[in-house]
Amino acid sequence: MQIGTAESSPGELVTGWLDVTDLPTGTPERLPVLIAEGEEDGPTLWITASIHGNEVTALAAAQDVMREELASKIRGTVVCLPNLNPAGLRRTTRTSYYHGDDPNRYFPDPDADGSRPPRVQELIDERVFEAFADSADALVDLHTAQVGSIPFVIRDRVLHGSAERRSADTGAATPRGTERDEDEARELADELERLADAYDFPVINEYTAEEYMEQNLQRSTAGAALNNAGIPAFTVELGGFEVVEENTREKGVVGLLNVMRELDMLPGEPEPTGLDAPVDFPVKRAVHPHTETAGIVRHRVDAGDTFEGGDVIADIVTPHGEPKATVETDHDGYVVGRYHGVAAYENDPVTSLAVRDDGDLVVPRSQE
């Protein structure tokens, strides 16, 4: 297998670079590539990390799983791109400086149609997509969430049915392209569940399909791998950002090895991470609750705490510390992380939560 300048060889760990664009200053922008190929044929697992350049625990976990000895132990091949965003890495920032928005929202989507030529981040994402779409049997994309956040896995819903082209003039929708049918979507969702569970972090289902598409998450690394390329793919959130959380990094590596065991690339039983979900019902990710009152946020909960509908999540106080309002939740679930800062404007969310999810994990792409 060849990815950029990295050419795999049985029983070896090789490194190289994947050029993704030319920089105005005369050098290529290139992504580091590592490939570990086993002596025996088997599946190909892709590990990508730190598309948000300040999510350094993700980068460190990706580096650490790609040990010299991995190639002598595995069946099949592991391809690892530990940093998908060198511009963000240079400055320890979430985004690149090509244009300031989220680089993890520009992967190819059959629904995405622009009248202007794609900008450089979209070209880079497309080139990364092309590199994994043909070769990956599974993909794990490593990230981090809020400071103090619990580590978790995000499991996306699998979309089925045609993407639609919406006429700019009339608003009329016509189906385009061929997409998986519902049975294929269920099969893909089952495969995804098997691998996401194998990681042995608490699994949180992604937002509802409507919110997912609204946020362009089908154009994230794992979202496009899953919903466009049909590869079982999920996102891992390894705690907080900007400083490597060593304990979480270590568990992140264990999770990756567990996925290899589940794919029968590595022998042996899965190693428990010891990370258990605080509740025993299915949950989905929720940016919730929001405060209607502007003020200073004083949280009553921390990451990992459970709550029930009606519980107060935070107080909103004046700059003098006097009570102004309370922010309640109307869901059951647990706290994933608290949002940074204490200054809240109207309708700002105060926490990232995992709330009870009764929704289906396989959903039609067009919600009519």
Would you tell me which residues interact with Zn ion (CB under 5 A)? 52, 55, 143
Nearest to 353 by CA among 320, 312, 305, 317: 305
Q: Minimum CB separation from Zn ion for residue 53, in Å? A: 9
Nearest to 191 by CA among 231, 135, 220, 141: 231
Nearest to 45 by CA among 262, 254, 361, 204: 262
CB nearer to Zn ion: pick between 52 and 160: 52
**Nearest to Zn ion by Cβ — which residue?**
143
Q: Minimum CB separation from Zn ion for residue 98, in Å? A: 17
CA atoms of 51 and 220, how far apart (whole Å): 10
DSSP 349: B
Nearest to 49 by CA among 28, 37, 29, 65: 65
CB nearer to Zn ion: pick between 71 and 238: 238
With 0-12 / 13-18 / 19 or more C-beta atoms within 10 angstroms meaning exposed / middle / buried, residue 172 is exposed
Q: Minimum CB separation from Zn ion for residue 135, in Å? A: 23
- Provide the phi-psi class of 86: left if phi over 0, else alpha when psi is between -120 and 50, else beta: alpha
DSSP 184: H
Task: Give the pairing type, strands 306-307 and 233-237.
Answer: unpaired
CB nearer to Zn ion: pick between 94 and 331: 94
CB nearer to Zn ion: pick between 84 and 335: 84
CB nearer to Zn ion: pick between 155 and 331: 155
Q: What are phi and psi of 203, to 5 degrees?
A: -100, 130
Q: Minimum CB separation from Zn ion for residue 186, in Å? A: 28
Q: Minimum CB separation from Zn ion for residue 54, in Å? A: 9
CB nearer to Zn ion: pick between 52 and 284: 52
Element (H, E) at 75: strand 75-81
* Beta bridge partner(s), residue 77: 37, 44
Element (H, E) at 91: helix 86-91
Q: Minimum CB separation from Zn ion for residue 57, in Å? A: 11
Q: Minimum CB separation from Zn ion for residue 150, in Å? A: 15
CB nearer to Zn ion: pick between 143 and 249: 143
Q: Minimum CB separation from Zn ion for residue 143, in Å? A: 3
CA atoms of 13 and 20, how far apart (whole Å): 22
CB nearer to Zn ion: pick between 58 and 314: 58
Q: Minimum CB separation from Zn ion for residue 102, in Å? A: 9
Nearest to 299 by CA among 95, 191, 146, 157: 146
CB nearer to Zn ion: pick between 143 and 155: 143
